[in-house]
Amino acid sequence: MATGVDQAVGMSLVVFSLLLFTYYSVWVIILPFVESNHVLHKYFLPREYSVILPGIAAVILLLCIGAFTAVIMWKNRKPKKVD
Amino acid sequence: MTKLLQWLFGVAVVLAVWALVSFDLLDLSLPRPYREAAWPMPLYLLVSLGCYSLATVGYRVATFNDCEEAAKELQEQIKEAREDLRKKGLKM
């Protein structure tokens, strides 16, 4: 078994993704069937955010990938040799 | 029919069903909660795919095995190789 930090990081990733999946599932699938004056609605943002927030996260992810690629390509540029 | 065409056909059928349910194109008048739950479906499937990938990566990071004997054997072989090369004249 991997030890120490590896196990902690791995398990925290698993727990985080489980929490995210459960919250998002309840938000998208279960909430429409719950009547609007139930107390459960207090814990969830308005439904528009269930589309906007993943959209923003996708844009940020693409920006990070693009920035990383740009930095790597900038560092690896070689000036052309003049014969 | 190629595999690509088969996949595209399947995706098109699923998308058509989704559009029919979410935007009420056939005027079927499904009850409101079903339509509200159906229309974010493509995004929901994408998010759950992302969660599954993250969980798989995290689980495999946590259960990755160290191989003690292989590490020791490798160190031994590195020592042997160094001795051998020193005898043959390579300066280290």
**ipTM value of the model?**
0.74
Q: Is the dihedral of CA B73, B76, B82, B83 positive or negative?
A: negative
Q: Which of B7, B8, B38 is nearest to B20 (CA)?
A: B38
How does the average pLDDT of chain B come out, rounded?
88
Query: Residue B44 is nearest to which of A11, A14, A24, comparing CB atoms?
Result: A24
- The domain segmentation of chain A, as residue ranges, is 4-75
Write out the two tokens for B43.
């995004």
pTM over 0.80: no
pLDDT of residue A2: 62
Among A14, A29, A50, beta carbon nearest to B59: A14
The full set of domain ranges for chain B reads 1-38, 40-92
Here the tokens at position B33 are 């909660």
Closest alpha carbon to B53 in A58, A13, A53: A13
Give the pLDDT band of residue A1 (cuts 50, 70, 90): low
